[in-house]
Amino acid sequence: MKNILKIQELDAQIRKIKASIDNSRENKLLAEFTKVMKEGRNFVNNIAEVSNEIIKEFNEINKKFDLLNAKSDITLKLKPETAGIDSVGKLIDDSNYLTSELAILEQRMRELTERGSRLLNDYNTAMNKLKDTKSKCDALKDMLAKKKEAVHPEITNLQAQIKKLEGDVDEKLYEKYKSMLKDNIFPVFVHLKSNRCGGCQMEQSLNFIQKLKQKGMLPCEECRRIILADEIK
């Protein structure tokens, strides 16, 4: 039992070191910048979609231009003197219609061009921001890698100490300890503190405490941690 508790102490030290990196300013910034990168990529993808729509609309307008041009060619070829006076009225109507349609198309084209240039502007801004954020992320990753490298010998040393202690432990209890670590329960062994579980602070019944005194250790019914009886007076 003593050795398992020592192992738990060493594991606590390892976890503390790892947590100090996980909770470091660099790691938090990296998470933030990674989120910004993701948003930036979505934004750029969205721009790509919108620009496809603009291209489609642009092609559509071009097609209409061609159609109107073809129509106006025909209208021009119909000379008033050969077409007869009856056709002149229709010719003027056609001509007015074509002119107004062309004006509408021109307006749409102008709007489309403006939208396109705004989009390009947004795209360039977003790409610059992405590039900037990426280099910040890379720098942070470098810093974190160095931090991890710096604590590596310490962790290796602690792990070696654990390895040594593992040779002399109650195997069944140690298996239990390891399986609870896997479930992210830590610490696994706790003491009773003012009749409460030292892990989850759940108050224990007198009946439970009585049984605990007899058995030496009992799992907490609330958090499954193993409560040790050794400090009960």
**Contact positions vs Zn ion (CB under 5 A):** 197, 199-200, 202, 220, 222-223, 225
Give the shortest CB-228-to-Zn ion separation in angstroms.
12
Give min distance, CB of 222 to Zn ion, in A.
4
**Comparison of 114 and 230: residue with beta carbon closer to Zn ion:** 230
Nearer to Zn ion, 133 or 225 (CB): 225
Residue 228 and residue 198: Cα distance in Å, rounded? 9
Minimum distance between the CB of residue 219 and Zn ion, rounded to whole angstroms?
Answer: 8
Which two three-digit tokens encode residue 146? 């160095």
147/191 with CB nearer Zn ion: 191
Q: Shortest Cβ distance from residue 205 to Zn ion (Å)? A: 13
Sequence-distant (≥ 6) Cβ neighbours of residue 225 within 8 angstroms: 180, 185, 187, 188, 189, 190, 197, 198, 199, 200, 219
Q: Which two tokens stand for residue 139?
A: 């720098």
The nearer residue to Zn ion, 40 or 199, going by C-beta atoms, is 199
Distance (Å, whole) CA 50 – CA 40? 15
Toward Zn ion, which CB reaches closer, 33 or 208?
208
Q: Do 177 and 4 touch, CB atoms closer than 8 A? A: yes
Min. distance of Cβ 211 from Zn ion in angstroms? 15
Q: What is the CA radius of gyration of the chain?
A: 38
User: How far is 106 from 88, CA to CA, in rounded Å?
Assistant: 27
Please give the structure tokens belonging to residue 132: 């900037």
